[in-house]
A and B are shown apart, each in its own frame.
Chain A
Amino acid sequence: MGKFIDFLEKRVSNPMARLAEQRHLLAVRDGVVSSLPFIIVGSFFLIIAFPPLPESWGITQWATENADQILIPYRMTMFIMSLYVAFGIGYNLAQSYKVDPLSGGQIAVASLLLTITPSVVEELGFVLPMQYLGGSGLFVTIIVSILSVEIFRICKQRNITIRLPEAVPASVSRSFEALIPVAIVIMLMTLITIIMGVNLHALVEKLTVPLVTAGDSLFGVLVPVFLITFFWSFGIHGVSVVGSVARPLWETYLLKNGEAVASGASELPHIAPEPLYQWFIWIGGSGATLGLVIVMLIFARSKYLKSLGRTVAVPSIFNINEPVIFGLPIVLNPILVIPFIITPIITAVIAYLATSVGLVSPTFIKAPWTLPAPIGAYLATGGDWRSIILVLVNLAISVVIYLPFLRIYDKKMLAMEQNEEQ
């Protein structure tokens, strides 16, 4: 057993964790994460425009009549997410290369905008179509942001820049240093989009269809669920590793669902935005450990597990479960790792099936992850009361799965405590 764990840790877990530390993946992750406040705030305007209240109420009718105005903050945040993400990726990647991060962010934004052709509308003048600045633009955003910062970085490192005398203030000379790389990036993007007439967005969309479809399938949900608890079994923050690869997909689903709601569609296109994981699968944190904490509070007889249960109960309600994972510990604990991996797989299957057959609405709102699960689930589904039932069902299932394993572990702890007292 020890050898097998050693093997897994050395050959599987460590290399994958290191991959997630790769510079570009890290920049993409941090870039997307930096846009989360805008996604969270923007998505709440979707709730205001489509309140989870009876249709006959005055406030619902007012919201429906004024939906276009109410949705403007949504359109300027979540709806054009890619613009914020481009800046975030450019900034973070430039920073990791120790070149001017501000210029990095700006160059990335310019590249993204140059993938879109403005059109002329009478009375309005030039109009920039927003279609590709939302969820569908995320992949192109990642590609052009990385590409343009790489050009910037190479120019800087090879000294292909304009140097001003040292007497010139730093902020002025910094912006001149970016002059040549900016010119190269802009000419390149102009060449692609305008002279060659390539629509990068349409091209990339075609190429990523299989990926987007696969990530939204049941299998596409179970793979990250398994990997995240697998990493945690070794004490590695699973979401931070797996999320750096999967997050662009998760955000695409969320934004597409939000766009569908805003345009009044009756069916949402995607099942698996991150809130599906957050509220229905990981109740209480990765591994669905709130169920484990409940079991501990009610059934534990050993002193250690009893007092641990009491101290971790409140953080667990708010989905902070590192004290549970390291405290029990679950990490490298052959008894508890089993339900820790199995439980979320089962809750994931149930959540996925319930959503795909329409028993619960797909999620389209990003609520802060520290909310208690029933509240978060209710908000994330735009006020579907059935989501609360799904949370409670999955919680009950997690209690049932954790119970026998915790009992075994509790007996062991109890025996140890009695030995020590003797």
Chain B
Amino acid sequence: MTKVLFVCSGGMSSAIVVNTLKKEAEKHGQALEVKAIGSSEVAAELENNWDVVMVAPQIKHRFDNIKKEADAHGVPCGPIPPQAYTPLGGPTLLKTLQELVK
């Protein structure tokens, strides 16, 4: 079970993308635990043993700060490609995830 932390501005829009990613992973027989949160909750949430942090494109101006927090906890962290941030972006999302966890 891979634990994925999704970060967007308020945690609302990424909920949609979370479902897309989960469905795509299911197709490939991979079990995921995914949680969507707002950017202000990152520091606190990182205490809870996540495997990977994925950051939504609309807060790319905050990416460096989030990456720093994730690095401090030794968690791989990467941006979600803009084209993947839609209900149709499943394949790209899963690929991005797999590259980050590797």
Q: Which residues of A contact B (CB under 8 A)?
A: 14, 17-18, 20-21, 30, 232, 235-237, 240-241, 304, 307-308, 311-312, 315, 320-323, 325-327, 329, 331, 370
Contact = CB atoms under 8 A, between A and B. Distances in A.
Contacts of B86: 308, 311-312, 323, 326-327
Given A14-B61, A237-B59, A331 B82 contact: yes
B61 A241 contact: yes
Contacts, number: 71
Interface in B39-73: 40, 56-62, 65
Q: How large is the interface on B (under 10, 10 to 19, 20 to 34, 35 or more residues)?
A: 20 to 34
Nearest to A310: B87
A326 B85 contact: yes
Nearest to A234: B60
A181 to B, nearest CB: 23
Main secondary structure of the interface of A (DSSP, over half): helix
A323 B60 contact: no
Contact of A326 (B9, B40, B57): B57
27 contacts: A14-B61, A21-B65, A235-B58, A235-B60, A235-B82, A236-B60, A240-B9, A240-B58, A241-B61, A308-B88, A311-B86, A312-B86, A312-B87, A320-B12, A320-B13, A321-B13, A322-B85, A323-B13, A323-B16, A323-B85, A325-B58, A326-B58, A326-B82, A326-B83, A326-B85, A327-B87, A327-B88
A237 B12 contact: no
B89 A236 contact: no
B4 interface: no
> Counting chain B CB atoms within 10 Å of each CB, which of A20, A21, A241, A323 scores highest?
A323
A21 B68 CA distance: 14
B17 interface: yes
Contacts of A236: 58-61
Contacts of B59: 236-237, 240
A329 B83 contact: yes
Nearest to B12: A320
A21 B62 contact: yes
Nearest to B89: A327
Nearest to B85: A326
Contacts of B84: 326
A320 B16 contact: yes
Nearest to A311: B87
A30 B39 CA distance: 11
Contacts of A312: 86-87
Contacts of A14: 61
Contact of B58 (A21, A30, A237, A307): A237
A139 B47 CA distance: 35
B8 interface: yes
A113 to B, nearest CB: 26
The 4 tightest CB contacts between A and B, nearest first, are A327-B86, A17-B61, A322-B13, A326-B85
B15 to A, nearest CB: 8
Contacts of B56: 322
Contacts of A320: 12-13, 16
A232 B60 CA distance: 11
A311 B59 CA distance: 23
A410 B5 CA distance: 35
A376 to B, nearest CB: 15
> Counting chain B CB atoms within 10 Å of each CB, which of A308, A326, A327 scores highest?
A326
A308 B9 CA distance: 22
Contacts of B61: 14, 17-18, 20-21, 236, 241
B55 to A, nearest CB: 12
B76 to A, nearest CB: 22
Contact of A237 (B9, B16, B88, B89): B9
A209 to B, nearest CB: 32
Contacts of A370: 12
A16 B85 CA distance: 23
> Counting chain B CB atoms within 10 Å of each CB, which of A20, A235, A307, A329 scores highest?
A235
Nearest to B57: A235
A18 B61 CA distance: 6
